[in-house]
Chain A
Amino acid sequence: MATYKGIKGVKVQSKASDPTTSEAVGTVWYNTATTGLKYAIEGAGAWASGGALNTARGGGASGGIQSACWFAGGGPGVTGADMETYNGSTWTELGNLVSGARDNLEGFGTTTAAIACGGYSNPPTSGRDSTESWNGSSWSETNNLLTVRYNFGSAIGSPSTAGLVFGGISPSHGTETINNESWNGTSWTEENNMLTARAAATGTGISTAALAVSGTTTSALAGVTPIVEEWNGTSWTETGDVNTARMGVGTAGTTALALAFGGRQNPPVYSALTEKFDGTSWTEVADLATGRINPGGCGSELAGICYGGDSSTAPQSVTEEWNDPVYAIKTVTVS
């Protein structure tokens, strides 16, 4: 019969406290303080609860990483001009957008240097081209988008000095647009168009390597599409479809490793689905606890974050944090 010493080369060790979980995976030890035999495991990726937003809302601009991210504007009902930042446990309210409340805007950058642009003011058809720059303490207006748009996507992992926005609804185009613009830190430049015009396609990545994930070709739920397009800094090409078509998902990661979570699927469900992209195809992984459309999202495929969004009854303030893998210490029980 195989023994622990035979496999590991040492006897089960006694420890006064548990070791670092990630380093202890695959080992067994006896905790002398709690008098228990323990072991560590590496589990699948999962979402955990985080601190709640001060103002429940969806459709705001977002960016950053799991432990330092931001959310500005949003709705519903174009109620949001608030800027909040997250430190890994708590959201803090900071300066408002200076061009007023707007919903379904987008952005990119960090908690100390970010860009928010587009969106709409009441009524919804009153789209915006306003661009604002965040310096860590306040917003200021800068050069406008070339195309008025709302409900669009952005390369949310971009720094404030080099961004990308694409698609959405443009009142000047009358409907969904394939228009694509890049930001160089000062002004916007029109780039090659997307292949499929759509709204509520969420973006991730950076200005030279981005994804446009799912969305709707008809502004409505009936038009949801699973199409994902990849931008290489010059042009868009189709890559692997998501398994479940949705509009208004949250995203995190890069063109090589990404997450798409939440959104609204047809028949109508405020989705909790999470899918993981490996650069080629999408695989369904663990669900959010709370399904929602238009959440803020950012971070990486290993450490992502989802906050706010809209659900069937009310805007959400809930934050969830994604980690993959999940390390855990278990106690051996004998029954």
Chain B
Amino acid sequence: MANTYCTATNTGKGFFTHEDRNDFYLSGHAGDVWVVGNNAAGVSWINRVTGTGKTKPEAQAIVDGKIDEAIVAYDAETAEYKADHSRPEKYILP
């Protein structure tokens, strides 16, 4: 499996370092979901940031839920707002 999944709060400086980024894949998503390269450095990072491990379906459900909330909020916006912003769309986590 190429990636593993967790939730963790981005604490700012030092949360992930340049060296981390060269050691494993990392991408952040809505709901504090992180997709992490499934190697020793990636697993070590999850422990370092006190991440909570998730399966891919669990992580995807968190992101989908946040996008659903954003869609509801978007649909309630004015026509002027919609003219300048596109409607949120769901996507598949890597």
Interface residues of A (CB under 8 A from B): 43-44, 46-52, 76-77, 89, 104, 122-125, 221, 264, 268-269, 272, 286-287, 289-291, 310-314, 318-319, 321, 323, 326, 328
Pairs across A and B, CB under 8 Å, 10 listed = A50-B12, A51-B12, A76-B81, A124-B83, A269-B91, A272-B27, A313-B88, A314-B70, A321-B18, A328-B18
Bound complex: CA of A43 vs CA of B88, how far in Å?
A: 36
* Contact (Cβ within 8 A) A312 B89: yes
Chain A residue, CB-CB nearest to B66: A313
How near does chain A come to B7, taking the closest CB pair, in angstroms?
A: 14
How near does chain B come to A21, taking the closest CB pair, in angstroms?
A: 10
* Contact (Cβ within 8 A) B70 A48: no
* Contact (Cβ within 8 A) A326 B10: no
Chain B residue, CB-CB nearest to A310: B85
Q: Told that A48-B21, A49-B15, A314-B66 touch, could you supply 9 new A-B pairs with CB distance under 8 A? A: A48-B16, A76-B81, A124-B83, A264-B86, A286-B22, A290-B27, A310-B85, A311-B30, A312-B30
Interface 1/0 per residue, B1-38 and A, CB below 8 Å = 00000000011111111111110001110100000000
A286 and B67 in contact, given A123-B80, A312-B88 (Cβ under 8 angstroms): no
Question: Most chain-A Cβ atoms within 10 A of its Cβ — which of B10, B11, B28, B85?
Answer: B28
* Contact (Cβ within 8 A) B18 A287: no
How near does chain A come to B42, taking the closest CB pair, in angstroms?
A: 13
State whether the Cβ of B58 lies closer than 8 Å to any Cβ in chain A. no
State whether the Cβ of B69 lies closer than 8 Å to any Cβ in chain A. yes
Bound complex: CA of A312 vs CA of B30, how far in Å?
A: 8
How near does chain B come to A50, taking the closest CB pair, in angstroms?
A: 5
* Contact (Cβ within 8 A) B22 A328: yes
List A contacts of B17 (CB < 8 A): 48-49
List B contacts of A319 (CB < 8 A): 12
* Contact (Cβ within 8 A) A48 B89: no
Partner of A49, one of B13, B67, B86, B88: B13
* Contact (Cβ within 8 A) B12 A52: yes
Chain A residue, CB-CB nearest to B31: A313
* Contact (Cβ within 8 A) B86 A268: yes
* Contact (Cβ within 8 A) B69 A313: yes
* Contact (Cβ within 8 A) A312 B91: yes
Partner of A46, one of B18, B78, B86: B18
